[in-house]
């Protein structure tokens, strides 16, 4: 039997679809339904690796975890990773498949539909429900001809489709009504309900507007979902980093350890640092300008899809010089993936893997390593232990670690030098540290999700109090599911899907 499909479309990008899909996956999994997430095409530099070494969007891996599943490539058959304003790397069925230029967008995407259809039907044959996430707005007339991720998916699957709007941005009722009005009649007929997301305030104040929206459209509002403070569920878009911290959040409290993450133009896998944000006594902040940097205890240069371009952007903005100044003043510095590559003496791209062919730029020169981009991408899950034994890393030695690698560069010690590795992973040494331990780099994504290492490093950075304990992702999923149960008419959704009404947590 082919499983029914529940689809969440949006009025725009970053209205909270990814998190809502994760929450609904947890709700239905708690109810005993075998549920899987799906997103036909994801445009994001936040990526993850399946156990068989295939690359998918990070949000879909998080949604799979919420459903109690191991992530699979069928959950995100097309991943577009922006490298510039007009070019994206195409990851098709988990493997790199060339570049997509903006002017070829519609024509090339038509060729991707069979991959989408095959992946979705595979999930529908193996599970009892598939929860689908759309992309951006569900009704962009200029993108309709090449659509493979929004209403074409809904039509193909006869999906029960909900339209999500973000009230925190303002104008949500106009956004919901306008999105519906822009749809052709066959698509409009698939929209079964509206969801108003991220509300702060008294929902009774919305009643007149909700009544008018329902009267104009004949579509019910299934609920108003309040803002959730400090929710640590991985999101797809770096736009999430631009939202101010809610009053009273952990960010606003007192702290013993100050950690600054450079908000690169093409930042990737920023949820690497989520466990730091939930730690007592730790302030985590994202900075994009030198004057925001201050004198942090730890300065992190994160991953990026465009190492050379983002390094040059840091030089133009003055951030590169500011980082060097903080190093001279004694701040510890960590580079992850692309950030690790930037810390070396130079970066080369002879074949144009990431930048123009023949590109070669000096790095920040804080580690005696150099990077050369090569055509084959390393994508694998790994485990091992920490090797570093100096500076703030001293107490991390021997701590077990696991995570994943996604990179096309190969980083090696500069000729005539030796370097102490940071980690030992599945039979090979990873990363590098300076002799005093104040500069370190690694290719491991998910480093701070390892509780013992994170606790030891924070102690080495000066935290004297106790931490917040293990980073409990399962508890976050359960908190999100409880929140959705309280604020959405899920029985109506179950009825539309042909699932038992009045389901309770198993």
Give yes or no: residues 214 and 309 share one domain. no
Give yes or no: residues 276 and 208 share one domain. no
pLDDT of 249 > 50? The answer is no
Cα gap 218→82, rounded to integer Å: 39
Q: Are 233 and 22 in contact (CB under 8 A)?
A: yes
Give yes or no: residues 265 and 386 share one domain. yes
Q: What is the model's pLDDT at position 233?
A: 87
Give yes or no: residues 212 and 294 share one domain. no
Q: What is the model's pLDDT at position 238?
A: 57
Closest alpha carbon to 435 in 419, 415, 457, 422? 419
The CATH number given to whatever domain includes residue 9 is: 3.40.50.300
Average pLDDT over every residue of 450-479 = 91
Q: CA 144, 223, 274 angle in degrees (round to 5)?
A: 80
- Please tell me whether residue 233 adopts helix, strand or coil conformation: coil
Give yes or no: residues 221 and 267 share one domain. no
Cα gap 499→114, rounded to integer Å: 29
Give yes or no: residues 11 and 62 share one domain. yes
Cα gap 138→122, rounded to integer Å: 24
Residue 31 falls within a domain, yes or no?
yes
Q: Enter the tokens of residue 97.
A: 């498949």
- Burial letters 315-350, b for 16+ CB under 10 A, else e: eeeebbebbeebbeeebbbbbbbbbbbbbbbebbbe
The CATH number given to whatever domain includes residue 336 is: 3.40.50.880
Q: Are 52 and 404 in contact (CB under 8 A)?
A: no
Q: How far is CA 220 from CA 161, 186, 193, 209, 212, in A?
A: 12, 18, 5, 12, 11
Helix or strand (DSSP H, E) at 296: none
Give yes or no: residues 166 and 264 share one domain. no
Instruction: Write out the DSSP string of 143-208.
Output: GGGG-SSSHHHHHHHT-EEEEEEEGGGS-HHHHHHHHHHHS-HHHHTTEEEEEEEEE-S-GGGGHH
Neighbours of 118 (CB within 10 A): 12
pLDDT of 86 > 50? The answer is yes
Instruction: Write out the DSSP string of 128-140.
Output: SEEEEE--S-S--
Give the residue numbers annotated as catalytic, written as ranges: 337, 445
- Please tell me whether residue 211 adopts helix, strand or coil conformation: helix
pLDDT one-digit tens code per residue, 320-375: 999 999 999 999 999 999 999 999 999 999 988 887 888 889 999 999 999 999 88
For the chain, what's the residue count?
Answer: 506
Name the β-bridge partners of 42: 79
Angle at which helix 58-66 crosses helix 473-487, to 10 degrees, equals 80
- Please tell me whether residue 108 adopts helix, strand or coil conformation: helix
Cα gap 225→297, rounded to integer Å: 37
Residue 466 falls within a domain, yes or no?
no
Residue 87 falls within a domain, yes or no?
no
Residue 50 falls within a domain, yes or no?
no
Q: What is the model's pLDDT at position 100?
A: 82
Give yes or no: residues 212 and 289 share one domain. no
pLDDT one-digit tens code per residue, 7-57: 999 999 999 999 999 999 999 999 999 999 999 999 999 999 999 999 999
Give yes or no: residues 433 and 488 share one domain. no
Q: Are 386 and 401 in contact (CB under 8 A)?
A: yes
Residue 98 falls within a domain, yes or no?
no
pTM, two decimals, is 0.90
Overall number of domains in the chain? 2
Backbone phi, psi, residue 26, to 5°: -70, -40
- Please tell me whether residue 328 adopts helix, strand or coil conformation: helix
Cα gap 407→162, rounded to integer Å: 36
Give yes or no: residues 361 and 490 share one domain. no
Q: What is the model's pLDDT at position 250?
A: 43
Give yes or no: residues 190 and 140 share one domain. yes
pLDDT of 4 > 80? The answer is yes
Average pLDDT over every residue of 297-305 = 96
Query: Percent of the chain beyond pLDDT 70?
Result: 95
Residue 283 falls within a domain, yes or no?
yes
pLDDT band at 257 (very low <50, low <70, confident <90, very high): very high
Closest alpha carbon to 220 in 180, 253, 257, 252? 180
Contacts of 316 (CB under 8 A, 6+ apart): none
pLDDT band at 240 (very low <50, low <70, confident <90, very high): low
Residue 237 falls within a domain, yes or no?
no
Q: Are 398 and 349 in contact (CB under 8 A)?
A: no
Q: What is the model's pLDDT at position 241?
A: 61
pLDDT of 493 > 80? The answer is yes
Domain of 447, in residue numbers: 245-460
Q: Enter the tokens of residue 371.
A: 């990077």
Residue 363 falls within a domain, yes or no?
yes
Q: Dihedral sign for Cα 476, 450, 379, 358, please.
A: positive
Contacts of 134 (CB under 8 A, 6+ apart): 7, 8, 9, 10, 17, 39, 149, 150, 151, 153, 154
Name the β-bridge partners of 382: 403
Give yes or no: residues 354 and 384 share one domain. yes
């Amino acid at each position: 039997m082919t499983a029914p499909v529940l689809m969440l479309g949006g009025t725009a990008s970053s209205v909270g679809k990814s998190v809502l899909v994760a929450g609904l996956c947890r709700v239905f999994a708690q109810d005993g339904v075998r549920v899987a997430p799906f997103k036909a095409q994801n445009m994001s530099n936040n990526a993850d690796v399946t156990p068989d070494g295939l690359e998918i969007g990070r949000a879909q891996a998080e949604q799979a975890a919420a459903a109690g599943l191991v992530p699979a490539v069928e959950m995100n058959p097309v991943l577009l990773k922006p490298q510039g304003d007009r070019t994206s790397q195409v990851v098709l069925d988990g493997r790199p498949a060339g570049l997509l230029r903006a002017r070829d967008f519609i024509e090339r995407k038509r060729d991707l539909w069979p991959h989408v259809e095959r992946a979705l039907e595979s999930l529908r044959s193996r599970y009892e429900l598939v929860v689908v996430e759309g992309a951006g707005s569900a009704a962009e007339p200029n993108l309709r001809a090449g659509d493979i991720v929004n209403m074409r998916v809904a039509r193909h699957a006869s999906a029960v489709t909900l339209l999500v709007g973000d009230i925190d941005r303002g104008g949500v009722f106009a956004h919901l009504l306008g999105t519906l009005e822009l749809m052709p009649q066959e698509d409009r007929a698939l929209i079964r309900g509206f969801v108003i997301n991220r509300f702060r305030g008294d929902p009774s104040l919305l009643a007149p507007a909700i009544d008018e929206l329902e009267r104009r459209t004949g579509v019910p509002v299934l609920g108003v979902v309040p803002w959730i403070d400090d929710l640590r569920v991985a999101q797809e878009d770096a736009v999430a980093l631009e939202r101010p911290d809610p009053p009273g959040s952990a960010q606003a409290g007192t702290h013993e350890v100050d950690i600054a993450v450079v908000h690169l133009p093409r930042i990737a896998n920023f949820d690497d640092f989520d466990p730091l944000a939930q730690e007592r006594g730790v302030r985590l902040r994202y900075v994009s300008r030198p004057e925001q940097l201050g004198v942090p205890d730890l300065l992190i240069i994160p991953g990026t899809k465009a190492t050379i371009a983002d390094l040059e952007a840091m030089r133009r903005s003055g951030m590169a010089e500011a980082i060097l100044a903080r190093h001279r003043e004694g701040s510890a510095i960590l580079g992850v993936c692309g950030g690790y590559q930037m810390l070396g003496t130079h970066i080369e791209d002879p074949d144009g893997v990431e930048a123009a062919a023949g590109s070669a730029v000096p790095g920040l020169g804080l580690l005696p390593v150099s990077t050369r981009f090569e055509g084959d991408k390393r994508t694998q899950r790994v485990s091992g232990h920490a090797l570093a034994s100096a500076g703030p890393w001293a107490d991390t030695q021997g701590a077990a670690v696991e995570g994943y690698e996604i990179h096309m560069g190969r980083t090696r010690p500069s000729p005539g030098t030796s370097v102490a590795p940071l980690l030992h992973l599945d039979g090979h040494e990873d990363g590098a540290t300076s002799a005093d331990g104040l500069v370190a780099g690694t290719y491991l994504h998910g480093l701070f999700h390892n509780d013992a290492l994170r606790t030891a490093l924070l102690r080495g950075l000066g935290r004297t109090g106790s931490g917040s304990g293990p980073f409990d992702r399962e508890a976050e999923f359960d908190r999100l599911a409880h929140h959705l149960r309280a604020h959405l008419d899920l029985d109506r959704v179950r009825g539309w899907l042909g699932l038992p009404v009045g389901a309770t947590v198993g």
